[in-house]
Structures are given as structure tokens and as C-alpha cells.
Amino acid sequence: MPSDQVPVAMTQKSAFARYLPITLIAIGAIAAIIVARDYLSFEALAANYEGLQAWQAQNQILSVVVFCAVYILAVAFSVPGAIWLTLIGGFLFGTVAGTALVVASATAGALLIFLAARTALGDGLRARAGPWLARMEDGFRSGEISYLLIMRLVPAVPFFIANLAPAFLGARTWTFLWTTLVGIIPGTLVFISIGAGLGEQLSQGTPPNLGVIFQWHILGPLLGLAALAALPLVLKATGLLKAKS
């Protein structure tokens, strides 16, 4: 092979390796939307919950493995309606175990899409965006923990946005990981609690109130936690806390 073709081949191989993860996620997301849209709904759960509950009782360890694997893939592929998986977690495993399984699985899935997006799009986006993105990154990094926690705590921020935006803004992997793990606990606990009492609603054919998280007695504490997470940003803006260089 001529020497001038080596860099081209290496560049093509590098580009293939860079875009492969995000391409697989995109393909998986399309397939998951087509396949899962008929299963992640109240009607589907109401028709199958007794069989699902019986299967879980007979296969306790396997049910945990399958549930976690499905949840990780649902998050990584940003499957619409994945909230029903959280409810199923509460329904099958109870409040404590369900919360632990969902938080761990959601964090793992979020990390997968974060790493894929950062690998595939991060460098190219920075190269094309110019100085304005660098300024955004600087502002983000100066309050990285606060921004990441706020995105997780405020229910209005879609989960997939909170996974992708930090990748584009150069978030540290470890910081993204632990803030996701901690930040999703309150909201997850709300929906797991709904799921834990889902059996009676399913038997009655009454859909659960998924908007409960926006009721003030629940939304207020979540916004309070978000405000607490934003406190370092406020202190830096007012000069009461010196920003890290």
C-alpha cells in the first residue's frame, strides 16, 4: 500500500469506530420504537400484569436480570413510554428494591448514550461550532455539578436531553455518572411508589396518574432540591463564592 494511503485508511477506520456506537444506538432506537410502542402502555400492562407477576414470582433472579437489561436498553435507545418500565419496577419488586434497580439501570443506560454521543459527535461539534461553544463549555464547566443535578431534578427536562447535552458540553464522565445516580433518585421514587400500588388500579382498569409529579406537594420538594443544587451558581454570580479556575 502506498504510504500516502495509510493516513486515509487510518482516518476512515477511526471515523468508523467513532460513529459505530451512536449509529447502533440510533438503529436500536428506531427498532425499539417500532417494537415497544405496543407494549409500553397501560392497556398492554393491564392485559398482561397477572402473567407478568406470576413469572416474576417463579423466576426471581432471572426477572431482575431481564428487567435491568431491558431498562438499560430502553434508556440507551431513548424509547418513548419507558416510564411504564419504572412503574413495572415498583409493581414487581416493591418500593425499595424497585428504586434501586431502576436507578442503577437508568444510570447505566444514560452512561452508554452519553459516551456514545461524546465519542461520535463531541469533537466534530466543537470543530464546527467555533468559539461560542467553547464559551458555553467554560460556563458549564464552572458549575458542572450544579447544572447536571438541576437537569436531573427538574421534571420538565426530558431524560434523553439530560443525557445528550452534557456530552456536547464536555462533562466529565465521573461527574455525569454520580450526578445522574443521585439526581434521579427523587423522581424515580415517586413513580416507583405509584408502581408499587399499581396492582389494584390494574385490576380496576383505572390508569395511574402520571402527572402526580407536577402536583405541588411533590414538585415543590423537587424544585427545592434543584434550587439547592443551583445555590453554588448563585453564590458565584454574586461573587460570594469564587469560581474555580
Least confident of 93-102, 152-161, 226-235: 226-235
Whether the pTM exceeds 0.85: the reply is no
pLDDT digits (tens, 9 = 90+) for 198-220: 777 766 666 777 676 777 777 77
Q: Which domain holds residue 32?
A: 3-237
Q: Does residue 76 belong to any structural domain of this protein?
A: yes
Q: Does residue 243 belong to any structural domain of this protein?
A: no
Q: Does residue 242 belong to any structural domain of this protein?
A: no
Planar angle of CA 111, 69, 61, nearest 5 degrees = 130
Give how many domains the chain has, as a whole number: 1
- Secondary structure (DSSP) of 154-195: -TTS-HHHHHHHHHHTT--HHHHHHHHHHHTHHHHHHHHHHH
Q: Does residue 190 belong to any structural domain of this protein?
A: yes
Q: Does residue 165 belong to any structural domain of this protein?
A: yes
The pLDDT of 112-136, averaged and rounded, is 65
Q: Does residue 123 belong to any structural domain of this protein?
A: yes
Q: Does residue 185 belong to any structural domain of this protein?
A: yes
Q: Does residue 244 belong to any structural domain of this protein?
A: no
Confidence band of 175 (pLDDT split at 50, 70, 90): very high
pLDDT digits (tens, 9 = 90+) for 67-105: 999 999 888 888 877 788 899 899 899 999 999 999 999
